[in-house]
Amino acid sequence: MKGLFITIEGPDGAGKSSLVKRLNESILEQTKRPLVMTREPGGSEIAEEIREIILNPLHTKMDARTEALLLAAGRRQHVVEKIRPALERGDIVLCDRFVDSSIAYQGKARGIGMDEVRAINEFAIEGLKPDATLYLDVEAHIGLARIMDKKSNRAQDRLELEEVTFHDKVREGYKEIIAQDPERFEIIDASLDEETVYQKAWQKIHSLISE
Ligand code: TMP
């Protein structure tokens, strides 16, 4: 495919959302190439509806495999409707979370198994793989403290409400994923200040879009 597929990953509270917004602005300033900025869970109308079901804090009964399947179903729709057509057109796609999130959160932290979750996602994405992934690394307790700080602005979702031990496992999961495919990842220490994190992320993205 002609496009460039970049994903951003990390535990909750790593500061992805504000970083993605800034990167989006910088890419638009620096290149004439069309850019699609998107996110998961969600990213298309149907997938956003599935997102609501997954993250609803009232859905305490949701089984771990149901969660993984819903995420993969939303992802399928997102890939078919938005990501794949954009890459076929030659656009840059910047996606906040993708399959790595499911492998870390559902595979490792929920304990379904990383290979099992990889397999159901393979069914959904049919071989689509990011060209590069920025991984914002932050210890679980720091990430969760940041979320608590922002709590007055918005309610926490069902996954953010998990214990710190769950989020520790998410980070372990990411470390395993990175060890298996190190070339795809740019690891950024997200405990640093926002400006430094942005500069490091932009350096990587700038080199990718200039290639
Ligand atoms: P967000 O805070 O980045 O919007 O993501 C919402 C939550 O969903 C976050 O806690 C991570 C979680 N999540 C998964 O558990 N598995 C997935 O595959 C994705 C995309 C997100």
Sequence ranges of the domains in the chain: 4-210
pLDDT along the chain (211 residues), means of 10: 95 94 95 95 98 97 98 98 98 98 98 98 98 97 89 79 95 98 98 97 96 83
Top-level class of domain 4-210 = alpha beta
How far, in Å, CA of 123 to CA of 72, rounded?
8
CB 159 less than 6 A from any atom of ligand 1 = yes
pLDDT at 153: 67
CA distances from 183 to 132, 167, 170 (A): 8, 24, 20
pLDDT at 152: 56
Q: Residue 13: left (phi > 0), alpha (psi -120 to 50), or beta?
A: left
Pocket probe mutation, ligand 1, options 103, 105, 110, 160, max atoms within 8 Å of Cβ: 105
How far, in Å, CA of 137 to CA of 115, rounded?
22
pLDDT in tens, 54-79: 999 999 999 999 999 999 999 999 99
Residue with CA at minimum distance from ligand 1 atom 12: 159
How far, in Å, CA of 137 to CA of 187, rounded?
7
* C-beta separation of 71 from 102 below 8 A: yes
CB 157 less than 6 A from any atom of ligand 1 = yes
Structure tokens at 170: 């998410």
pLDDT at 61: 97
Amino acid at 47: A
Hey, which bits of 23-115 come out as E strands? 35-39, 92-96
pLDDT at 171: 98
pLDDT at 151: 60
pLDDT at 148: 86
**Reported pTM:** 0.97
CB 20 less than 6 A from any atom of ligand 1 = no
Structure tokens at 204: 């990587």
CB 121 less than 6 A from any atom of ligand 1 = no
CA-based Rg of the chain, rounded to a whole angstrom?
A: 16
Q: Is 169 helix (H, G, I), strand (E, B) or coil?
A: helix
How far, in Å, CA of 6 to CA of 124, rounded?
18
pLDDT at 174: 98
